[in-house]
Amino acid sequence: MSPRGVAIPDIRERLFEAAERILAREGPSGLTSRAITTEAGCAKGLLHKHFAGLDELVAELVLARFAHTARLAEDLPARAGESTVAANLKTIGYALLTSLHPTTAGLAVSTPAASLRIREALEAGAPGFDAIQQSIAAYLDAEVERGRLSPATDTTATALALVGTVHHLLMTTWGDTARDPGEQTERLVTMLLGPTTGGSISHGER
Q: At what angle do helices 181-193 and 155-172 cross, to 10 degrees?
A: 160
- Specify whether the CB–CB gap between 180 and 204 falls below 8 A: no
> From CA 4, how far away is CA 1, in angstroms rounded?
8
Position 17 scores a pLDDT of 96
How many residues make up the chain in this entry?
206
Q: With left for phi above 0 and alpha for psi between -120 and 50, is residue 125 left, alpha or beta?
A: left
> From CA 16, how far away is CA 42, in angstroms rounded?
13
Cα 184 to Cα 38, 157, 191: the distances in Å are 36, 19, 11
| DSSP per-residue string spanning 126-166 | -SSHHHHHHHHHHHHHHHHHTTSS-TT--HHHHHHHHHHHH
> From CA 152, how far away is CA 147, in angstroms rounded?
11
pLDDT by residue for the chain (206 residues), tens only, comes to 334 444 445 899 999 999 999 999 999 999 999 999 999 999 888 899 999 999 999 999 999 999 999 999 999 999 999 999 999 999 999 999 899 988 998 899 899 999 999 999 999 999 999 999 999 999 999 999 999 999 999 999 999 999 999 888 887 765 555 567 788 888 889 888 876 554 443 433 33
pTM confidence score: 0.82
Position 7 scores a pLDDT of 41
Task: Count CB-CB contacts under 10 A for residue 169.
Answer: 20
Q: With left for phi above 0 and alpha for psi between -120 and 50, is residue 83 left, alpha or beta?
A: left
Q: Side chain identity at 152, as an amino acid letter? A: A
